[in-house]
Amino acid sequence: MREIGTVAVIGLGTMGAGIVEVFARGGLRVIGVETTQEYADRGHAILTASTERAVAKGRLEEAEATRILERVTITTDFTELAAADLVVEAVPEVLALKHEVFGRLDEILAPDAILASNTSSLSITQIAAGTKHPERVLGMHFFNPAPVLRLVEVITTLRTDPALAKAVVALSKKLGKKPVVVQDRAGFVANYLLFGYFTSALRMIEHGHVSREDLDTAMRVGAGLPMGPLTLIDLVGLDVCDHIGDVIYVHTRSAMHAPSPMLGRMVTSGLLGRKSGRGFYTYAKPGSGQVVDDAQTPAAVAESGLSSVGVIGTGEVAEELVSRLEAGGYVVVQVADPQDSAELAGLADVGLVIEAQELDLNLDDLEELSEGDELPGADLDDLFAELGDLTGPETVLASVNSVAAVALGALSGRPGRSVVLRVHEPTDNGQVIEVGRTSVTQDCAISLLREVIAQIGAESVVCRDRPGLVVDALLIPHLNDAVRMLDEGYASVKDIDAALTYGLGYPMGPFAMIDRIGADEVLAVCEELSWSGSGLPPESVAASPLLVERVLLDLPFTNV
């Protein structure tokens, strides 16, 4: 087949102009095509502004920027595409429009030229139906901003000539990109996984499970992702997300991708995110990334005057809490043996009690027990009831163990001042401590906990006490969905991990995350979410058979 030396890009919006820059930076001659001179001038301005920013930031030499622009020809004349070895269409996501473009190209291009679509969600097979030569059509999906993000999804159909896919993969590597080859499935890899996650996050907001700020903090800090889901949706555009989500759902009918009624209403109302100045957040002006206060902005946390905290337990979590609380300036009363009434009496005057016993037992512990022996550790029911009698009415009671906040409140007789805590491992973005509340938990108790969590150097996420709270309820089904994708033959472990790392900026791919967390832990959370009536779609929390298989065989997903 012919060598790819000249590339054409049809459609010079932000995405198309970015693709032009990628090819020109790679030393190729590029022809950019628009429908009107006004749009052509706009595309040239986008390209020029991008290279100027790169020069200003020291990422590009001025002489090289000049050479990049010299390689680009921008026109409104389709006949100039005759010299192109590869054409990438980047027109709006309307199938009829793409058919019109590809139909025109049949009469202009050489028979061995490659046709590629940058569609983010439409079927490449359906797009190829608009040309007389479907065997030379494939998808070449760049991610925005194209000059920065390295991922390129190369999507093949049943008719695509395998030699063309190999040529596009080789070209992508030459451009410094990370290509992954994917079959023509709805959403391909990155968007399919991303939009299932988006739908779950939107459901949490719509149901009042968590605030927008805490939702984003949970996933940015607690899960270590580049940004929270609502910030990302605002960046991409609510209208774009609504459209892509609808396309994926039409093709899959997956409950995980069912359209969000709230998102649709916001789009109809003109709340499109950064580009309109309002979305889930409010921005300084349309197109700005500067978030400004609005009616939903949380008030500053008031100082509680808390001086002492009680910690029950001596395990790893308890000892870390004691250390960090003391470093935060609190007087800590630690109860090593919760069955010792004298020790528990020392908690009478503290303003916050955290039950943090190590209750996990290993097989050796169980084998040493004789018939009639009690399990180590205080009975939690008795402990919470005793704490309700011992402590003052203003004391806040919390537990880091798997117990419902409503049960803690009922047993202690302190329903308005009882919560559960989930202390997450730190990520590169910090550490999250989740606070699970009930419908009657008092705001003053939440304010006190936010203050304490900030004082010990973590970030708080407050939500309703439901299985998985926020971090696990969003992250674990997202990871399980990646395993399901692998099991169904979408793509390999390597390509799925690369798609989310290079396309979405994840610190590591989903399979690397599973191996770090532990497949057994991921499975356990899936089962908890499935058994406990979490309110999530059953298919999103039902563990993939492949996940169960890896746990039973004690096999990692990566490096095998």
Q: How far is CA 444 from CA 350, 416, 515, in A?
A: 16, 9, 40
CB-based burial, 153-178: b 16+ in 10 Å, e otherwise: bbbbbebbbeebbebbbebbeebebb
**Which residues are CB-neighbours of 370 under 8 A, at least 6 positions away?**
none
Q: Is 44 a catalytic residue?
A: no
Q: What are phi and psi of 509, to 5 degrees?
A: -75, 165
Among 50, 117, 120, 172, the active-site one is 120
- Token pair for 379: 């009975």
Sign of the alpha-carbon torsion through 392, 394, 400, 405: positive
* Residue 353 dihedral angles phi and psi, to the nearest 5°: -120, 130
DSSP assignment of 172-193? HHHTT-EEEEEES-TTTTHHHH
Among residues 118, 123, 191, 534, the one annotated as catalytic is: 191
For position 332, what pLDDT does the model report? 96
Residue 375: per-residue pLDDT: 40
Choose the catalytic residue: 118, 121, 141, 429: 141
**Residue 307 annotated as catalytic:** no
* Catalytic residue selected from 21, 89, 153, 434: 153
What is residue 32's DSSP assignment?
A: E
pLDDT confidence of residue 241: 94
Is residue 418 part of the annotated active site? The answer reads no
Neighbouring CB atoms inside 10 A of 131's CB total 20
Helix (H) / strand (E) containing 419: strand 418-423
310: which 2 tokens? 């009680």
Instruction: Tell me the C-alpha distance between 270 and 253, whole Å.
Output: 27
Those residues with Cβ within 8 angstroms of residue 505's Cβ, 6 or more apart along the chain or in another chain? 149, 225, 226
Q: What tokens does 341 get?
A: 């009434």
Amino acid, single-letter form, for residue 269: S
* Amino acid 560: pLDDT: 57
**Contact criterion met (CB below 8 Å) for 224 and 428:** yes
Contacts for 437 with CB less than 8 Å, ≥ 6 apart: 405, 419, 446, 462, 463, 464, 465
Entry field: residues in the chain: 560
Among 424, 468, 501, which Cα is nearest to 223's? 424
> Phi and psi of 479, rounded to 5°?
-70, -40
153 given a catalytic annotation: yes
State how far the Cα of 88 lies from the Cα of 547, in Å rounded to an integer. Answer: 38
* pLDDT one digit per residue (tens) for the chain, 560 residues: 568 999 999 999 989 999 999 999 999 999 999 999 999 999 999 999 999 999 999 988 999 999 999 999 999 999 999 999 999 999 998 999 999 999 999 989 998 899 999 998 899 999 999 898 999 999 999 998 899 999 999 999 999 999 999 999 999 999 999 999 998 988 899 999 999 999 999 999 999 999 999 999 999 999 999 999 999 999 999 999 999 999 999 888 888 889 899 999 999 999 999 999 999 999 999 999 999 999 999 998 888 899 999 999 998 999 999 999 999 999 999 999 988 889 999 999 999 999 999 865 443 443 444 444 444 444 788 899 999 999 999 999 999 987 789 999 999 999 999 999 999 999 999 999 999 999 999 999 999 999 999 999 999 999 999 999 999 999 999 999 999 999 998 889 999 999 999 999 999 999 999 999 999 999 999 998 887 666 667 777 889 999 999 999 999 999 75
Burial class (CB in 10 A: 0-12, 13-18, 19+), 513: buried
